[in-house]
Amino acid sequence: MNTIVPAAALRIAVYPGTFDPMTNGHVDLAVRAAPLFDKLVIGIAESPVKNPNFALQDRIDMAREALSGIPNIEVLGFRSLLAHFVAEINASVILRGLRAVSDFEYEFQLASMNRHLIPGAETMFLTPAEQFSFISSSLVREVARLGGDVSSFVPPAVQKRLDKNRAANPG
């Protein structure tokens, strides 16, 4: 069965997450997904329950700097349920990354819940390039906190913020 999409309809996808901080794996996914859509919104969740290391505006600023060269990417913060944000920006696709098989069960649950909450949106999974498959924000935060070099795992804007945080909070 073919579905006809009106010419005026934009294919908008949202790539949601806390991005605390944004890693090169996140950037890789966004860069590879951007050509698939008219617009890709990087939706940065406030997520106070996760107690992020970086304030929402800092995470937005870092993501904007890291993705500034891609014209159809927009970075927005949100403080609501993802379903409400998806409706607000008229997205029809939720982009999620899968690094390993261990991610699948959780992501499958999220996709199923989102299917019920947002019947008009589909979830699409992408895997990162192999060199980024082991990188997670939590690992980057831990290595940086303990004084390790994370420069090959994060964009330069993020590295600057991590260095600044480490200098302000030694030890």
| DSSP element (H, E) containing 66 | helix 56-66
Residues 3 and 119: their CA atoms lie apart, in Å, by: 16
Instruction: Give the list of residues 6+ apart from residue 138 with CB closer than 8 angstroms, or none.
Output: none
Q: Is 96 a catalytic residue?
A: no
59, 137, 141, 161: which one is catalytic?
Answer: 137
Distance CA(120)–CA(37), nearest Å, equals 16
Q: Which of 99, 115, 145, 166 is an active site residue?
A: 99
50 tagged catalytic: yes
Element of type H or E holding 12: strand 12-17
Catalytic annotation present for 116: no
160 is known as an active-site residue: no
Query: Is-cis flag, bond preceding 21, omega within 30?
Result: yes
- DSSP label at 8? T
Query: CA angle, 99 as apex, 164 and 130 as ends, to 5°?
Result: 85
How large is the angle between the packed helices 156-168 and 56-66, nearest 10 degrees?
150
Could you list the active site residues?
26, 50, 99, 137
